Amino acid sequence: MKTIKIIALCLSLLLPLIASAQSPQSPSSQPDTVGLPDLVVNSNLLGEQWVVRDEQLDGTLCSVEEGGITPGMHTLIRFTVETPNIGNADIVVGDPNAHVAAGDGLFEFATCHHHYHFRHYAKYELIDPVTGFVWKAAKKGFCMLDTDPAPTATSGQQPQSPQFRNCGTIGIPGNQGISHGWADTYRFFLGGQYFILDGGDGQPPVPSGTYIIRITVNPPFKPAPGEPCRFLERIDTDGQPICHQLPESDFSNNVGEATVFIPDHPGKQGVGPGAGTPAQEDKDEHGNQIPK
C-alpha cells in the first residue's frame, strides 16, 4: 500500500511537467500588457511538498558546482516553490538573447546548465524561528514559464492560453514570462531545490528542530556598481535604491512561508510529505535533462 501511494505521488508530481513540456503555445495568443502583474508565493504548496532525507550528491551535478557543495552523501531538505501571477497583466520577459545583447542585467549565462538564468528572481531562506539565524540556498536556475494554472483560490481567475513555454539558450530564441492566471513551479525533486543541512556547503550545520522556509519572489535588492535598477521601490535609509527586476502592482505580498520539522536522522527514505520519492538532480529547473 505504501509503495502504491509513493507511485501515485510521483505521478501526480510528474504529470504537470509532462503536460507543460508537451502543451503547445497558442499561435494566436498575444501577451496581455494592460495593467500590472502581481507575483505571490504558493505557501500551501510549499507546506505540502517537502522532504528531509540523506541523499548522494555527485560532483557532476550543477547544483553541487554552483552551490560550492562538497560531493558525497548529505542531509538536505527539498521543497517545491510555485509563484503564481495573480495580477491583471502578464509578466513579459521574452528572449534572453535579446536581453543579454542589450546588457540590461536581467540574465547571466549558466555554464553548467548551458542556458541563461534570470537574476534576482527568487530568494530561498531557511530560518531558525528562535534565534533568527538564516541559511541560504545557492540555487541559481530560474527560467520563467507558464508551467501550471494558478490556484483559483489564489488568483481568482481562470487561466487563458499559456504564452511562455521556452527558456531559450545561446543562439536559440526563448520566450520567458508568466501569464496572469498562471504560475511558474519548481518541484522539490528537481535540481537545486534544497538546503544542505549538514554543513557541506560551508554554512553551519542545521540542528534538529522546527524551522521556517521563507521564499521571496522578485526580491528587493541593492544594485551592485554598474548594475541597472529596473524598477525602483524606494530609497533606503542609507540613500541606496531598493530595486526589483520585474514590475508589479504590489511588492508587499511577495513572501511565502511554511513550517517544517528537521529530524536528527531522516535516512534515505526521508521524513515529510515527499518521503520515498526519488530525486531528479540531473534535471534542470523545469524537468529538462541537463546536458553533460
Give me the pLDDT at residue 284, please: 56
- SS3 string, 114-181, reads CEEEECCCEEEEEECCCCCCEEECCCCCCCCCCCEECCHHHHCCCCCCCCCCECCECCECCEEEECCC
pLDDT tens for 57-111 read: 999 888 898 889 999 999 999 999 999 999 999 999 999 999 999 988 899 888 7
Distance CA 244, CA 258 (A): 24
Shortest CA distance to 271 belongs to which of 33, 52, 124?
A: 52
pLDDT tens for 12-62 read: 444 444 444 333 344 346 889 999 999 999 999 999 999 999 999 999 888
Give me the pLDDT at residue 154, please: 72
Distance CA 140, CA 137 (A): 9
pLDDT tens for 128-144 read: 999 999 999 978 779 99
Q: Check if the beta carbon of residue 171 is closer than 8 Å to that of residue 95.
A: no
pLDDT tens for 171-222 read: 899 999 999 999 999 999 888 899 999 999 999 999 999 999 999 999 999 9
Distance CA 251, CA 104 (A): 21
Give the three cell numbers for residue 188. 522539490
In the sheet that holds 194-196, the strands lie side by side as 50-57, 72-79, 194-196
Q: How many other CB atoms sit within 10 Å of the CB of residue 77?
A: 28
Give me the pLDDT at residue 274, please: 94
Domain locations in the chain as residue ranges: 2-24+32-121+138-200
**Local structure of residue 17 (DSSP, 8 states):** H
